[in-house]
Structure 1
Amino acid sequence: MTSIALSRLHFPITTLGPGNRIGIWFQGCSIRCPGCISADTWAVGRDLTDVDAVINALNRWLPDADGLTVSGGEPFDQPDALTELLQAFRQRSDADILVYSGYPVEKIMPYLKKLDGLVDALISDPYLAEAPQTKALRGSDNQRLHSLTPLGENRFASYERANQSEEKKIDLMMDADGTVWMAGIPERGVFEKLSRHLSNQHHTFLTTEDRSISRARRGKPHD
């Protein structure tokens, strides 16, 4: 059995691709883009399970899933686990597979070829907090959407466009311990606005968003 470091999985996810999707977040990231909203997924060496356990957990959702979205963390930092996971999923479902990676596609293309068409669509390149944020499914406009199979072209070609106002939403979920977490690509500054609003209502709001960018901005001298 291949070990896999997993942050979380959930169904349905509606903000990271078409339809009701299974979402899988890998744990561990060597890229660590400044400003990332999922800094909690950076740490390595924790939340280990095995691919068989993950597939068993997904089985109950497969009949209703329109697709699978794999994010993180960085999926390509665990290539063996990613391969085994996608192979097992494809054996059980013909739904599309979308993978997010912070690596440039040129760096991981040899590995994608070894996956032999398992990845239908890929969003590549690191998140840049200073770049515009207008494109569908992407956190910053430098990121590229690649349709890698006929199924990927059919399902994702329509996302090669500007983000639409109705898509500026997030999935809100709650774990059994009461932890609330969000999936999607929120507009920049939305967590700060939410924090201020909740603070005004005497609530405490903590987020896993990386704060290095905002700290650097606050530290800049005025012109």
Structure 2
Amino acid sequence: HLRAARPEWNVLCYSGYTLATLRRRGAGAARLLDGIDVLVAGPYRERRPQTHPLAGSNNQRIHLLSARGRMLAPALDLTPPDALNLALGPGGEQWLIGVARGAARTAIHQALTQPAPGEDVPCPN
């Protein structure tokens, strides 16, 4: 289980289903929900604008399912809808965290893969 392996992590889950639908799915779904801190519920709708930093579209609902999730509420309330974070993974890989749409996502990924000014670029032999 993720919680046992990484107790310090916040567990965020995206679902194309509403929370009510998931709760009707039985014991297996209930066990999954018990391990989630924040659930982004509902289908992504590209034509619906983003109004929350964790949701891709404004029809999606954010559910803070655990005490840990509820502790995140003040920070989420202060975060602009289009906010992104850049983190470094354990191997130095770059992680883009947040919901970036269309051209903005493409531009960010291109910028992350280009060498920094003054950085050596390997030449093919």
Alignment TM-score, normalising by the size of structure 1: 0.37
**Equivalent position to 1:104, from 3, 15, 18:** 18
Identity of aligned residues (%): 26
| Structure 1 residue 183, shift from structure 2 partner | 4.6
Show the counterpart of 1:117: 34
Show the counterpart of 1:64: none
Q: Secondary structure at the match of 1:189?
A: helix
2:50 and 2:57 in contact (8 A); partners too: yes
| Structure 1 residue 132, shift from structure 2 partner | 1.6
**Structure with more contact order per residue of length (Cα contacts < 8 Å, sep ≥ 6):** 1
CA–CA distance in structure 1, aligned partners of residues 21 and 30 of structure 2? 12
CA–CA distance in structure 1, aligned partners of residues 17 and 66 of structure 2? 20
Instruction: Identify if the C-alpha distance between structure 1 residues 172 and 149 changes in structure 2 by more than 3 Å, giving closer, same or farther.
Output: closer
CA RMSD of aligned residues (A): 3.5
1:136 and 1:162 in contact (8 A); partners too: no
Instruction: Identify if the C-alpha distance between structure 1 residues 92 and 127 changes in structure 2 by more than 3 Å, giving closer, same or farther.
Output: same
CA–CA distance in structure 2, aligned partners of residues 97 and 181 of structure 1? 16
CA–CA distance in structure 1, aligned partners of residues 74 and 96 of structure 2? 24
Show the counterpart of 1:137: 54
Unmatched 5+ residue regions in structure 2? 89-93, 112-125
1:168 and 1:187 in contact (8 A); partners too: no
Equivalent residues, number: 103
CA–CA distance in structure 2, aligned partners of residues 122 and 92 of structure 1? 20
| Structure 1 residue 112, shift from structure 2 partner | 3.6
Show the counterpart of 1:169: 84
CA–CA distance in structure 1, aligned partners of residues 66 and 95 of structure 2? 32
Show the counterpart of 1:68: none
Unmatched 5+ residue regions in structure 1? 1-86, 174-179, 199-223
**Equivalent position to 2:100, from 163, 179, 186:** 186
Instruction: Identify if the C-alpha distance between structure 1 residues 181 and 158 changes in structure 2 by more than 3 Å, giving closer, same or farther.
Output: closer
Instruction: Identify if the C-alpha distance between structure 1 residues 183 and 164 changes in structure 2 by more than 3 Å, giving closer, same or farther.
Output: closer
